[in-house]
Amino acid sequence: MPRKSSSRSRNGSPSRRGRIWRLLGAGGWVLTGLVLAGVAVGAVYVHQLDREIRERFEGQRWALPARVYARPLELYAGRPLTAAALETELRALNYRETPDAAGPGEFHIDGSRARLTTRPFVFGDDPEPAHSVRLRLANGRVQSVSDLSSGRNVDLMRVEPLLIGSIYPTHGEDRILVDIDEVPRELIVALLAIEDRRFMSHRGLDPVGIGRAMVANLRAGRTVQGGSTLTQQLVKNFYLTHDQTLTRKLNEAVMALLLEHRYDKREILEAYLNEVFLGQAGERAIHGFGQAAHFYYQRPLNELRLDQLALLVGLARGASYYDPRRFPERARQRRDRVLQAMADTGLAERERVDRALATELDVSPVMPGGRSRFPAFLDLVRRELRADYADEDLRSEGLRIFTTMDPVVQLRLEERLVRGVDQVVRQRGQDGRLEGLQAAAVVTDPQSGEVLGVVGDRDPRYPGFNRAVEAQRQVGSVLKPFVYLAALTNPHRYTLATLLDDSPLTLQLPHGEPWTPRNFDREHRGPVTAWESLVQSYNVATVRLAEDIGVSQLIGLLQTLGLQRNPAPLPSLALGAIELSPLEVAGLYQALANGGYATGTRVIRDVLDQNDEVLSHYGLALQGAVADGSVRVLTHALHDVTREGTGRRIDTRLNGQVVAGKTGTTSNFRDSWFAGFDDRHVAVVWLGMDDNRATGLTGGVSAAPVWAEIMAGIGVQSLRLEGHPGIDYRGVDLASGLRVDNDDHACEAVKTLPFWQNSGPERRAECDLSHDPSQQGWFERLFR
Q: Which residues contact 130 (CB under 8 A, 6 or more apart)?
A: 104, 117, 118, 119, 120
The amino acid at 129: P
Instruction: Please give the Cα distance from 276 to 319 (Å, whole number).
Output: 10
At 488, which helix (H) or strand (E)?
A: helix 480-488
Structural contact between residues 262 and 250, judged by C-beta atoms closer than 8 angstroms: no
Catalytic (active site) residue 195: yes
- Return the beta strands (E) in 487-590 as ranges: 499-501, 507-508, 514-515, 527-529, 579-580
Residue 296 phi, psi dihedral angles, 5° rounding: -95, -30
Instruction: Indicate which residue of 132, 166, 396, 477 is catalytic.
Output: 477
- Alpha carbons 118 and 74: distance in angstroms, whole number: 12
**Is residue 302 exposed (0-12), middle (13-18) or buried (19+ Cβ within 10 Å)?**
middle
The SS3 call for residue 743 is coil
Q: Which residues are CB-neighbours of 740 under 8 A, at least 6 positions away?
A: 730, 731, 732, 733, 747, 750, 764, 765, 767, 768
Query: Which helix (H) or strand (E) element contains residue 376?
Result: helix 375-385
Do 607 and 389 form a contact (C-beta atoms < 8 A)?
A: yes
Say which DSSP state 105 is in.
T
The answer to whether 15 is a known catalytic residue is no
Q: Which DSSP letter does residue 218 get?
A: H
What are the angstrom distances between the C-alpha of 504 and each of 31, 40, 199, 483, 541?
A: 109, 98, 91, 19, 9
Of 195, 252, 414, 780, catalytic: 195
How many whole angstroms separate alpha carbon 174 and alpha carbon 426?
Answer: 42
Determine the Cα–Cα distance for residues 22 and 652; give it in Å rounded to an integer: 114
Q: Which residues are catalytic?
A: 195, 477
